[in-house]
Amino acid sequence: MKNIAVIGAGTMGNGIAHVFAQNGYQVNLIDISQVSLDRGMATIGKNLDRMVVKEKISARAKETTLNNINTFISVAKGVAGIDLVVEAATENLELKLKIFKELDELCADKTILATNTSSISITQIAAVTSRPEKVIGMHFMNPVPIMKLVEIIRGYSTSDETTKIIMTLSKALGKTPTEVNDYPGFVANRILMPMINEAIETLFTGVAGVQEIDTVMKLGMAHPMGPLQLADFIGLDVCLSILNVMHDGFKNPKYAPCPLLVNMVMAEKLGIKSGEGFYDYSQSRKAETVAKQFS
């Protein structure tokens, strides 16, 4: 398994392509937008430059990594002769089902189809293909080149062979694969998102301010960043989408998104990506200034 295709050149997609390429795999990075591909490759280049400056890799290793990546705007051309496809498109069910139907038609029978979804059912995605035993979740963490965990999610029909191949492959990337079963939110987001949602609820009900909530969790619970800062980093639209998936899947009110989160997403205050969330990022990407008075 040496030839990998990654669908989507956004934050997660370019990070996944980076990691595979840095570990000697030939990677086809695919996106319908040439602008997104150019931006994704520029991000990979900048991240590799940081690694060179920190003496984690050599300048030659950087060039080799970049040479291992080819870009495509044609899915058909990009997945020809590929052993594994990792889909990293927007967290939208209809889009993912459309992509997997297309991949199933275009890819060779041997090709394993993986999705980087953080919450959507692997079983539901696999059901639109003719190879459900070869469909699996590979949920990388952001930022992909740094974070060690990969959640490996087995759908109802995912085979033992497919799971073993992907577990072994993840280890070859220097990651720690952790196998979980296919239920809404899997493990990472089933635990993380209710915590973030409760932090937003705590702010919404006026118990404490943004910096106070984050300070309590950072200094009291030894979290590297507070839940509201983390929500901004993830993207408030992504947080809302995941909570909705879990609320729909479990029908449990504890997963219902806080009204403040819903309103902020409607107002397009999405965190770092939009320049404002719980913090103001107009001057710096660091969470230094609270965006507004939340009360």
User: Which residues does the annotation mark as catalytic?
Assistant: 118, 139, 151, 189
Is the sign of the CA dihedral 273, 208, 243, 195 positive or negative?
Answer: positive
Q: Other CB atoms closer than 10 Å to residue 282's CB: what's the count? A: 9
- With contact defined as beta carbons under 8 Å apart, do 16 and 144 qualify? yes
Give 51's contacts (C-beta < 8 A, 6+ positions apart).
57, 62, 145
Q: At what angle do helices 34-53 and 11-22 cross, to 10 degrees?
A: 50
Tokens coding 237: 């639209």
Q: Please give the order of strands across the beta sheet that includes 69-72.
A: 69-72, 26-30, 3-7, 84-87, 112-115, 135-140, 149-154, 176-181
